Structure 1
Amino acid sequence: MDDTATPGWQGDIWLADDHCLLRSTLGRTDSHVHYAHQVLVGLGADVEVRLGERICSGPQVFIASRQPHAILSHGVPCLTVFAEPLAFDLADLALACKQAGNSAEQLAECLMHWPRRPLDPRLRKALERIRALDEQALPAQELASTAALSLSQLERLFSGSLKLSVRRLVLWQRLRMALQQALGGASLTEAALAAGFADSAHFTRSVRQQFGLSPGAALRRLRLRTFG
């Protein structure tokens, strides 16, 4: 995709540990798959998305975790929610969007205080360690020790509870860290290295795989907002 010809992704973004919210115009993306559930709420216009092989269009589109999809709308004002399945069900997100109406501020407040899904205490410990990532590698064995599990038990816990490998969740957290660094003013190279990517090319490839566009196209017109 030619990102220079892709309008959209201009607006505000709120980042939290387990979700993020955008109030922006949409831009087209290539087909991609990511861990988070995603909700698109058109502001005064329908949004159009390709889900697998079918086209979905309407005032709201719900995209389940790991569902291949591509955004077809461009220049449409929209609220976009990315939320981790370990914390939210899609039904939670639908209800939160209904309660907030079309207000990004109310939706941000609602999601911050929404009751999270209960987690196995061992999974919660592993997740806390992943949230504390820095630029250093996090060996799976270290993560298993943190949760007082064997490596095989850790992998079974992740695949059974989250339908996701340990490596994939660590990658998702590193992406979140790098995006936050870049939105805060760091260069893509600085953001990539601070989040533990080998280089900016590795970061760019990961963003394309997860979001269907380059980090430059996704970030250059978004303003980082704070909660409250």
Structure 2
Amino acid sequence: MTDQASFLLYLWSHRAVYLGASPENDLHKHHAAQLCVGLEAPLRVREATNTEWLQTRAVLVPPDRPHEVDAGTGAIFTIYWEPESDDYPFKELGASLRTFPLSTEAVSVLASIGDAPADPSDVWTRCVSALGLQTYRAPEAIDPRVAVVLERIRQSSEQPHTLGSLATAVHLSPSRLSHLFSAQVGVALRRFIVWSRVRQAVRHALAGANLTQAAVAAGFSDAAHMSHSFRGMFGFAPSALFAHGINRRVFVVDDVA
């Protein structure tokens, strides 16, 4: 997958997988933790413009850590992961960039994900297996009140949902709903809402809306607001994904019951 004008993106409820050319090469930071792999050659990474480059095949970037990645014209594989989720595997990562050991076979498996679209659950299984990550979270029956909250967010992401309004709707205190939602869904309610709105905006953009229309339809005040939230999660603007002339394969996955 070497064409700079193409990319593959899987977007789940609190994590994402991207394959393609690096969409951002300036110094930046984002809240989602990042595991970045050079698929065709080692990449270079640094934490500030006045520090030395680190050359490595794969690097772990902690949440909110400034970094700059240079993959040249080669393709990269990247996982973005919400650090507040309970299946987040890098809780002991610390605050600095860290190299991530990968075999040649593992890199080949990750590169092959871009060969053809596949079932999202199969893609995720292949990713975590190749990376040697332990991310299993035992499924549990969703509490009917949490199910109501999930449905409200899915069906009306454009509404200004707050913890208080959602708690009132299901006759719980805000603190009780916050605890129950995190325990059952695996991610904080506030962060779930942000991911949900970004996912909805991407859906609208894929359906032909421009970024302003997609942003407003997903509950953002305008395109700048959506771009700020998107960049805060992933480190690059959504316009990089929806520019003209790009061959894009995007899968927005509903992975929460």
- Residue 24 of structure 1, CA deviation: 0.4
Please give the secondary structure, in 1, of the residue aligned with 2:44.
strand
Measure how far apart 1:63 and its partner are: 2.9
Alignment of 1:17-56 (within 5 A): 17-27=13-23, 28-34=25-31, 36-51=32-47, 56=54
- Given candidates 64, 70, 82, the residue that maps to 2:80 is 82
SS at 2:157's partner residue? coil
| C-alpha distance in structure 2 between counterparts of 1:225 and 1:153, whole Å | 35
Q: TM-score, normalised by structure 1?
A: 0.70
Q: Which runs of 5+ in 2 are unaligned?
A: 91-100, 129-134, 253-257
Indicate whether 1:111 and 2:110 are aligned.
Answer: no
Q: Which residue of 2 aligns with 1:142?
A: 165
Distance 1:200 1:225, change over 3 A: closer
Alignment counterpart, residue 190 of structure 2, candidates 158, 167, 170: 167
Opposite residue 217 of structure 1, the aligned amino acid is A
**Greater displacement, 107-116 / 215-224:** 107-116
Q: Which of 146, 152, 159 is the equivalent residue of 2:175?
A: 152
Structure 1 pair 124–116 and aligned structure 2 pair: CA distance change class (3 A):
farther
Distance 1:23 1:200, change over 3 A: same
* Separation in structure 2 between the aligned mates of residue 81 and residue 178 of structure 1, nearest angstrom: 20
SS in 2 for 1:21: strand
Judge conservation of contact 2:14–2:82 (CA < 8 Å) in 1.
yes
**Rounded Cα–Cα distance in structure 1 between residues aligned with 2:251 and 2:183:** 34
Alignment partners' CA distance in 1, 2:178 and 2:239: 34
Choose 216-225 or 159-168, whichever is displaced more: 159-168
- Is residue 24–residue 78 contact of structure 1 (8 Å, CA) maintained in 2? yes
Between Structure 1 and Structure 2, whose CA radius of gyration is higher?
A: 2
Q: Could you say which residue in structure 1 is the equivalent of 2:208?
A: 185
Q: Any idea what the Cα deviations from partners look like across 1:64-123, whole Å, max 9, x if unmatched? A: 4x24233321433111222345364337xx99x949343115795231687752478569
Residue number among 67, 71, 77 corresponding to 1:70 in the alignment: 67
Letter in 2 for 1:197: F
Q: What RMSD in Å do the two structures reach over aligned CA positions? A: 4.2
Q: Compute the displacement of 1:195 (Å).
A: 0.7
> 1: distance between equivalents of 2:184 and 2:66?
23
TM-score w.r.t. length of structure 2: 0.64
Q: Deviations over 1:120-171 (max 9, x none)?
A: 8569645565444421221312332566631123345678999976434312
CA distance in 1, matches of 2:113, 2:123: 10
Checking the alignment, whether the CA contact within 8 Å between 1:26 and 1:77 is kept in structure 2 is yes
Question: Matched residues in 1 for 2:65 and 2:152: separation?
Answer: 29
Of 195-204 and 98-107, deviating more is: 98-107
The structure where helix makes up a greater share of residues is: 1
The corresponding residue for 2:248 is: 223
Percent identity among equivalent residues? Answer: 28
